[in-house]
Each structure stands twice: as structure tokens, then as C-alpha cells.
């Protein structure tokens, strides 16, 4: 069972605030989807290698060369608040 307590925990990991009504609704939705997903339990995959990616790529490196890129000013332009050339956020600790 996927309980409302589970939903609250997952919502906090996901950094999404939910109200009580949403918590109840998502608990129903996720319970339904996860019980459908459980059909994978029918398969024995103990000897199967996982596929995280379909191309045979390992680490892709580029030469360590400086190329044109966004300036600090351009990169900061899209943020809500800046301070002394940095992103400004609400306080982290009391």
C-alpha cells in the first residue's frame, strides 16, 4: 500500500509542498500506478544486465580549451535575485 505518509515523505524528497487534499489524491494515483508497475515482478531478471543507455558510450571528453560561453552577467540575468555577482537565496540556517 502507498499511504499518505509515503506521499508526504516522497513530496518532501521531491521538494514539492502538498496540501491535504492533494496528498490524498496523489496517494490514490500513485498507488494505482505502482500496482500496475508491479507486473514487472512476474519477470526473473536476476541474470539480465541493466540498460541505462542505448548507445555504447563511456565518458565523452572534450579538449580543455576555453570557448565562448555565457558571461557571468548573462548567466545571472534569468534569476529572481542576485547579490555581488551571485545568485541570492533565502537563508539556509537560522
Partner 1 sequence: MNYNELTAHEILENIKAKKCSASDVYNATYEHIDKVEDKVNAYVRVAPKEDTTSSIDETASTPIPIAIKDNICIENKETTCSSQILKGFTAPYNATVIDKLKNTGAIFVGHANMDEFAFGSSTENSSCGVTHNPWNLNHVPGGSSGGSTAAVAANEAIWAIGSDTGGSIRQPASFCGVVGLKPTYGRVSRYGLLAFASSLDQIGPITKDMTDSALLLNILAGYDPMDSTSANIDVPDYTQSLVNDVKGLKIGIPKEFFIDGIDPEVKDGVNEAIELLKKQGASFQEVSLPHTEYAVATYYIVATAEASSNLARYDGVQYGQRKMASETRKTKLVDMYEETRAQGFGEETKRRVMLGTYCLSSGYYDDYYLKGLKVRTLIKNDLDKVFEECDAIITPTSPTTAFKIGEKAKDPLSMYLSDIFTISANLSGIPAVSLPCGFSKAGLPIGLQIMAKPFDEQMLFKIGYTYEQQTPWHKKRTQLT
Where on the chain is the footprint of partner 1 (CB under 8 A)? Answer: 6-7, 10-18, 22, 26, 29-30, 32-34, 36-37, 39-40, 43, 45, 48-55, 57, 60, 62, 70, 74-75, 77-81, 87, 89-94
Least separation in angstroms between residue 28's CB and partner 1 is 10
* Cα–Cα dist 24/3, whole Å: 9
Give least dist CB 11 to partner 1, A: 6
As given in the structure block, the three cell numbers for residue 27 are: 496517494
Taking the complex as a whole, the smallest distance from the CB of residue 64 to partner 1 amounts, in Å, to 14
Compute the distance between CA of residue 34 and CA of residue 40 in angstroms, rounded to an integer: 10
For residues 11 and 27, the answer to whether their CB atoms sit within 8 Å is no
Phi/psi region, residue 78 (left: phi>0; alpha: psi -120 to 50; beta: rest), is alpha
Kindly state the smallest distance separating residue 68's Cβ from partner 1, in Å: 10
Amino acid at each position: 500500500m502507498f499511504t499518505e505518509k509515503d506521499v508526504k515523505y516522497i513530496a518532501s524528497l521531491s521538494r514539492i509542498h502538498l496540501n491535504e487534499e492533494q496528498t490524498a489524491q496523489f496517494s490514490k494515483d500513485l498507488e494505482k500506478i505502482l500496482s500496475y508497475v508491479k507486473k514487472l515482478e512476474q519477470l526473473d531478471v536476476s541474470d539480465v544486465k541493466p540498460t541505462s543507455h542505448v548507445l555504447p558510450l563511456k565518458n565523452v571528453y572534450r579538449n580543455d580549451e576555453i570557448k565562448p560561453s555565457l558571461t557571468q552577467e548573462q548567466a545571472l540575468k534569468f534569476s529572481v535575485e542576485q547579490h555581488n555577482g551571485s545568485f541570492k537565496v533565502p537563508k539556509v540556517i537560522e
